[in-house]
Structure 1
Amino acid sequence: MVDGHDYQEWIGRTVTQEDMVTASPIERLDATLETDHQLYSTGVALPPLAHWLYFLPNERQSTLGPDGHPKRGGFLPPIHDLPRRMWAGSRLTFKSPLRVGMHVKRTSTIESVTSKQGTTGPLVFVTVGHAVHDENGHLLLTDHHDIVYRDVTAPADRARSTAPKGPWHRSIVPDTVMLFRYSALTFNGHRIHYDRTYVFAVEGYPGLIVHGPLIATLLIDLVRRSLPSSVVVKAYSFRAVSPLFDGSELHLNGSPPDETGKILLWATNDRDELIMKAEATI
């Protein structure tokens, strides 16, 4: 319970959005990730996690809060006492790929609201389940998205455990331009990703925060780079362990699939400290 409220009445709330799958967003994401160029003509399948480029928020500028997110109390519960809000992780299943030219619909449902006491203070986890269907009602994917709310006075998380370099490996340095481009691609106004003055003065972080879903996308892109293009990802999950800040080297690691098709993935910073764990199934 936070500020005397457990927000249980928000559980079960739903919202539905519709969109058309176009080629431009995924082509720009490929450019941002330095992925080999592919022609996304009508009917071509999009890679896993491409749905994050669609169903984007369309709140008016006047309805945004001080952090750049929509003001609280709409679809998501108004957890005002814990102003830090971050993407903690997701669990996804892929039934059929999005294809260029599709008309798609996403239904989002608040599945749970859970209060916990963490090492840095009170936490609230909100899980939102997303189901994406095509125009004929066929399920394309599910995405169970965990959002965590924290107190702004709590110290910024520091990675603690370390992890070795994997058989699959790629190193990049996410800079301010990459963060800006990804924010633009996902129409994400959260100021922690581009406003250095806000990050220092209000949220107390030592740098701009690299988007969790960007790191998760880079990890699944490592699978695409390491295996034949014919491989199909059936499931994917990831959990953020600690923030990564701009200018820090990001190490993307993975292991080849085991006999069940499971692939272990992890990301570390320039001190080899773990920042994200993930798992894909092919």
Structure 2
Amino acid sequence: MTTHLDPQTLAHLQTWQGRSETLEDLITPAPLRALSATLDRDDPLPAAGTELPALWHWLYFLPHHRQSEIGPDGHAKRGGFLPPVPLPRRMWAGGRLQWHAPLRVGDALKRVSTIQSVTHKSGRTGDLLFVLVKHEVHNADGLCLTEEHDIVYRPAAQPGDPMPAPVAAASMVGQGAPLVQSGGNSELWQRDIAPDDVLLFRYSALTFNGHRIHYDRTYVTDVEGYPGLIVHGPLIATLLVDLVRRHTNRPIQRFEFKALRPTFECGDQRILRVNGQPQADGNQVRLWAQDHEGWLTMQATAELG
């Protein structure tokens, strides 16, 4: 089982820097209806011209690998556009997005993706490889969205591996310059979600994500060594943005998020809590997610238009 990358392998992987691919897709309404239901929203039915909420473009440009091309973890076998990193764990670590113009139902889209960097670091449990991918999404009128996507590859878990110290989510309250209402109480948005296996399955189906860590409890516990099904990082980011939408109609122009700790499904009635705190400038919202033990699992910032 690979835990270290030799210099020759690393040099080969770094030849992927600068590689690019272009995909095309059409924004259709059916995935929007399905995600709205999955997020427990009562949205009007989308029609031609309906604007996509922030992050809902992740329902498009989906991977369509043939079944014979799928690896044992449910992901496509390594290689192709992304480098064939031999480390077994692959995770969406975070990203940064900027919207230049709305995406709407009926738009024909083109996405140009480029591997910006392939960076090696040594971690406590072995080598880490970080791949930065830049996506640029265009419609007929030009560039609509720029997205930087952070992917991290790491070794499989081993007994006795050191674990980073968790951070209490409560420490996030009041950081920065929160908006102060009359009476001296800072505004705090919160919503609790039960991330059960049905929610995870529906999101996997919507994003055509075959990664077994999100729906195969035997695989994720026996092979990858986790205590339960893992909640998708993009789903948590989407729930953070959805929290903003539940409190303001202002559009999100920029969004940045970082995954800090895995969140596991609620086989024992676990709860995922998403939090938001508007800042004093009126244009930013600090966001974070916490698990059932109160540990910080994701932090983010949304800049409003």
Picking from 275, 279, 304, the partner of 1:253 is: 275
CA spacing shift, 1:156–1:242, aligned 2, 3 Å: farther
Q: Which residue number corresponds to residue 137 of structure 2?
A: 132
Q: Which residue number corresponds to residue 93 of structure 1?
A: 98
Q: Which residue number corresponds to residue 239 of structure 1?
A: 258
How many residue pairs were aligned? 278
CA contact (8 A) 1:158 1:243 kept: no
Q: Distance in 2 between matches of 1:158 and 1:192?
A: 21
CA spacing shift, 1:54–1:159, aligned 2, 3 Å: farther
CA contact (8 A) 2:124 2:162 kept: no
Q: Secondary structure at the match of 2:281?
A: coil
Structure 2 counterpart of 1:244, which letter? T
CA contact (8 A) 1:17 1:55 kept: yes
Q: Does 1:69 align with 2:75?
A: yes
Q: Distance in 2 between matches of 1:27 and 1:268?
A: 27
Structure 1 counterpart of 2:5, which letter? V
Q: Which residue number corresponds to residue 5 of structure 2?
A: 2
CA spacing shift, 1:213–1:122, aligned 2, 3 Å: same
CA-CA distance at 1:156 after TM superposition: 9.1
Q: Which residue number corresponds to residue 179 of structure 1?
A: 200
CA-CA distance at 1:202 after TM superposition: 1.0
CA-CA distance at 1:157 after TM superposition: 5.7
CA-CA distance at 1:39 after TM superposition: 2.0
Q: Give the aligned CA root-mean-square deviation in angstroms.
A: 1.5
1:41-98: CA deviation from partner (whole Å, max 9, x where unpaired): 1011110001100001111000011111111111111111x10001000100011121
CA spacing shift, 1:157–1:65, aligned 2, 3 Å: farther
CA-CA distance at 1:158 after TM superposition: 6.4
CA contact (8 A) 1:156 1:204 kept: no
1:110-160: CA deviation from partner (whole Å, max 9, x where unpaired): 011111112332211101100000034x11101100001010134596661
Q: Distance in 2 between matches of 1:205 and 1:88?
A: 17
CA spacing shift, 1:254–1:159, aligned 2, 3 Å: farther
Greater displacement, 120-129 / 2-11: 2-11
Normalising by structure 1, what TM-score? 0.95
Structure 2 residues without counterparts, runs of 5 or longer? 174-187
- Equivalent pairs: percent with the same residue? 55
CA spacing shift, 1:157–1:146, aligned 2, 3 Å: farther
Q: Does 1:274 align with 2:277?
A: no
Structure 1 counterpart of 2:19, which letter? R
Structure 1 counterpart of 2:260, which letter? V
Normalising by structure 2, what TM-score? 0.88
CA contact (8 A) 1:67 1:191 kept: yes
Structure 2 counterpart of 1:84, which letter? R
1:173-213: CA deviation from partner (whole Å, max 9, x where unpaired): 10000000000000001110011111111100010000000
CA spacing shift, 1:16–1:156, aligned 2, 3 Å: farther
CA contact (8 A) 1:159 1:241 kept: no
Q: Secondary structure at the match of 2:113?
A: strand
Q: Which residue number corresponds to residue 52 of structure 2?
A: 46
Q: Does 1:18 align with 2:28?
A: no
1:249-277: CA deviation from partner (whole Å, max 9, x where unpaired): 10100101331611100000111100000
CA contact (8 A) 1:91 1:145 kept: yes
Q: Distance in 2 between matches of 1:201 and 1:191?
A: 12
